[in-house]
Amino acid sequence: RPTPPALERDSMRFYVHSEEEPSFALPVQWDDADTRPVEALLQLFLAAYAAKGGKRSAAQIALSSSDGRLLAPKARVLAVVEDGGDVFAAVRPSGAAASASASASAKAPARSAAPAADAKGAEAEALQKVLAPYLDAAQKAWDNRGYRQAKEIYGELITVHPKLPIALRRLGEIELFCERADPAVGWLLKASRAAPKDAEVRGLLGEAYALQGEPEEAQEAFEIALELTKGKKGKKKARVALGRALFMDPRPGKRAAGGQMLTSILHEDMEDDVALQAYGEACIELNQSEDALKIFLRMIVAKSTDKQTRKLLARALMSPDGLTQLEEQLPDSTGSAAALAFLATVVKDHSGISQSIALYGRAVRICPDSASYALNLVHTAELRFDHAAALRPLYAFCAANPSLAVGDLTCATFAAALPDLASLPSL
């Protein structure tokens, strides 16, 4: 999978310090998959130290933790060094003292020692206090839909705290909003590792995998999200997400399983918007435009600004017999003109230009005195660079409303000054 290299693998960061002249601190980023021992870390440090003018050798120094314990040369770095911690280059002791110290280091890893755990807890609490103003600012930007600003702040936060769950999650969500599947998967994988019990993060990861075209991974993420989710309402939402993923899965048998799951959920509560939306989307996929339109025309009344509802309604209207089905469900009448104009706007926003023209045309036929409907029809026809088609509603409006005037200029006077439409050259 073409995930950006920086997001493929977790790693920890720490420093190796030398307090003797020349004093030196080496920043180290150590991959979680790196199983090399402490002696390899020492060689890495000595090479960097020599480049700074230091003259120490492995025979003279050893590495120790912040509490002075020597790190056993054969112990894995991952077992004895803390993420975000500090390692020190110390004078190597001799004899039994060195052996006892190294043995203690190997048997009592930094990650399991009670004093180290207490220190880590205190350090985490202090870090949380430092980060609090930045987290508040990022959340405020998020709540106000200032996603660019939120991304900048969360991006800065992870340079300080690389495994901060909320920052990793939000960065993934922003990429998901923008439909950038690869970086969304990368960030949300990191977020799921940082917070393995967070059901919402797993659900978001499932959405990112689905967007990336990885149905198997999406299904696995949604199944884990369902297992982790608590509460009846949350469980239902997770089941819908899993059912939808199964329905969209091209592998044999998955669509049928997903369809059965969605149907079962909908039968439990026919008023549930989440289940209705997923079921309506399945109807679109099966070219069942009649059922899809019934669902989304009903939903759009209460959710007129909801992006996903508008998108799916537009897809239903743009299906092969979408406009035919709409005429049956919404026949021409004085009261339907406004609804038709609204639907024309919705479908135009999702590139359904021909469908939008047809819907504005119906609205104009119902209300020939509406300048708003006529102008929208003109402007929508212009999007197809069909200027003759764009002019016809203008001529028709003037003919239908001869006495309508702006100041002393009536539509009749204006129309008389226009050339005959049929005589105009092809535009």
* pLDDT tens per residue across span 267-288: 998 888 999 999 999 999 999 9
List the CATH code of the domain at 5-112.
Answer: 3.10.20.90
pLDDT at 422: 76
Phi, psi of 109 (to 5 degrees): -55, 150
Residue numbers in the chain where pLDDT is lower than 70: 1-10, 19, 21-22, 67, 92-124, 127, 424-427
Domain ranges of the chain: 5-112, 114-228, 330-427
pLDDT at 418: 86
Q: Which CATH superfamily is domain 114-228 in?
A: Tetratricopeptide repeat domain (1.25.40.10)
d(CA 382, CA 166): 46
Give residue 219's identity as a one-letter amino acid code.
Answer: Q
d(CA 173, CA 147): 10
pLDDT tens column, 386-427: 777 888 899 999 999 999 999 999 999 998 988 887 776 655
Alpha helices in 195-231 (DSSP H): 199-212, 215-228
Domains 114-228 and 330-427 alike in fold: yes
Q: Does domain 330-427 have CATH number 3.50.50.60?
A: no
pTM over 0.75, yes/no: no
Closest CA to 65 of 114, 25, 28, 16: 16
- 69: three-class secondary structure by DSSP: coil
Exposure string for 19-53, b = 16+ CB within 10 A, e = fewer: eeeeebebebebeeeeeebbbebbebbbebbeeee
pLDDT at 95: 44
pLDDT at 120: 57
pLDDT at 117: 54
d(CA 318, CA 353): 10
Question: Contact 51/200 with Cβ under 8 angstroms?
Answer: no
